[in-house]
Structure 1
């Protein structure tokens, strides 16, 4: 079996002391590729350094996270645009809307999201979307700006079956992570109704570790644990989930 982690911040400080061991364990677990979303200007160097040392395993995206959108977000977006012009990336991400912590920059977040969608279209790249307490605004914007070939992932999907269908009807994928394994998440009722051809797996490392590691540092090696739950909920085999989700990720990222 082969697995892909479509969303992991393994350039994070929490991994700096043992990243070589982590990536070696990923190979043993057959998690052969890890896609890294950017946060803002402070994460670019560490992310690209990891790609330099592990180019077959660690694949970067470029984008501005909504929680990093402040009054001066245009300066950050200029940098995103510069990087997209000077070298290839597999996606524009992690971008989106987050109203959970603060709504002071709600309008700026929406503007940054729209601008980055335009950049993705310009470079013919998928987008990786972060939403928290903001799903309706995000999906409306995606639906409004949707056209042929426009696609991406709604990362950390924990919504209803109806919301999942709305996402897949728009041509987007659903990123299932550690929350899917939580006992009271309700995802056991949702996952059976999702379009399997539009499901990808992610850890969001170092955050949101799956059961039984909840509360500890998350790692890409835990992808099979998420796959096990998806297989259980869908009454599928683990092999079927590994094959389908890996194929989905390869189609989306064209690699």
Structure 2
């Protein structure tokens, strides 16, 4: 799981918020700022997005997009205190949204306030929550709150709607869960440059036949072997893929000894 996944989570988070309404004459300014923030977020220009979000809050103090942008950016930078300040407002403004509570819980995990984190995860699973924009997150939360068996049951419930990589990686994460919180699945702020890196080389017959010729297919190969990895670079000419993993999968990855695995 990498920055693309983080972007998806942020997009899903903001998608769960309806547009903020304003009865002032600044409606056009607010809409323009919202569009710019959205574009900057898609381009990973987070600092500029946060700056515009601060400006937007001057016009609309309860703007969902601005509050979410600042809160999630602070969370990704491991500034849990700032993140809680903004995400708490979202929970009060839109209490039926589960994702607000999930990210607030993750912030409390960062501060080692696990009881508070669990409280928000439990609230996120309450029946009156609106539809989850990301089923894989709901599966993780269910595992943290109710245990592995409940997580596996939820995984099977959404099996048909999940792509194969998500399904197998979730299955691996649930299997390896040690009751150490939602962050243990994969920290959203985790920079792939901090991970141990490896190189795999795809044999010609597998690459040319299309069996393993993309980053997604490489990740799926290892996920089926019980190891979650992220592809971070590829060279189509040499058929090489640079991959990384987290500590809990490191030994298992080395033990696979597949696809000409080499430690960098």
With normalisation by structure 2, the TM-score equals 0.32
The structure having more radius of gyration, on CA atoms, is: 2
Q: Comparing both chains, which one has the higher relative contact order based on Cα–Cα distances under 8 Å and sequence gaps of 6 or more?
A: 1
With normalisation by structure 1, the TM-score equals 0.33
Greater strand share, structure number: 1
Greater helix share, structure number: 2
